Amino acid sequence: AELDKVVAINDMVLVMGDVNVDNLIESNDRRNLDEMLLSHGLSRLHLPATRITNHSQTSIDFICTNIKETDIATKITQTGLSDHTAQLCTILTDSTKQPLTQTKRRQFNARTVQELKQNLESQDWTKVTLTENVETAYKAFSGIFQTALNIACPLKIVKKKRNPYKNIWDNESQALKLSYLEGLNKQIITGHPDDKKETARRKKCYDIKLKTLHKQC
């Protein structure tokens, strides 16, 4: 039902996440999922194993889309945030064809605000103060103020700035991540309970550090 709402928009659709249906083996669940996606014009892209343990390799995370495979690039990467890999998806577009995003904005600073104040002080407000009808008085006030505002702080077309990428990582978090990944790789190879316990401890330290960094942003 939710897919019906989304796909009906006739836009590009991209669905990503943990689906818990292995794409590396044939099964009824996999066939049913593929058929359901196909009925909505979507297809599941091939991904290598996204969850690896010492006894299994499964591709249970998916990227589904109605975008042509030639226009999309995918890969997986080990992030240290989960026992699953992260799925990265890039839609290949010609950015040079995209128009620059613009908006209209007023410039408020000490100079323009002072100019606005002086302009308002020089206005004749009798149409506001001596008018008994509230609506008429408001329209008079609004007209005077809008004119003064447009003179002191006119709307100007400006390019929208992209939000700068904020890097929250530090050397300690990088070291904790590498330590966790080393423990995870060892756990995958051995499957030993002690290695699993050590991996869980390292991940907890890493998670606590990330939460601290997020709070500081």
CATH superfamily, with its number, for domain 1-94: Endonuclease/exonuclease/phosphatase (3.60.10.10)
> For 28-41, how does the pLDDT look when each residue is reduced to its tens digit (9 = 90+)?
999 999 988 888 88
Contacts 24+ apart (CB under 8 A), 74-82: 74/45, 74/47, 76/47, 76/48, 76/50, 78/181, 78/184, 80/177, 80/180, 80/181, 80/184, 80/203, 80/206
Distance CA 87, CA 200 (A): 22
State if pTM tops 0.75: no
> For 6-23, how does the pLDDT look when each residue is reduced to its tens digit (9 = 90+)?
666 667 888 898 999 999
> For 85-100, how does the pLDDT look when each residue is reduced to its tens digit (9 = 90+)?
889 999 887 764 455 6
**pLDDT > 60? residue 105:** yes
Distance CA 206, CA 213 (A): 11
Question: Which pLDDT band holds residue 188 (cuts at 50, 70, 90)?
Answer: confident
Cα torsion through 103, 109, 112, 115, rounded to 10: 150
> For 118-144, how does the pLDDT look when each residue is reduced to its tens digit (9 = 90+)?
999 999 999 999 988 999 999 999 999
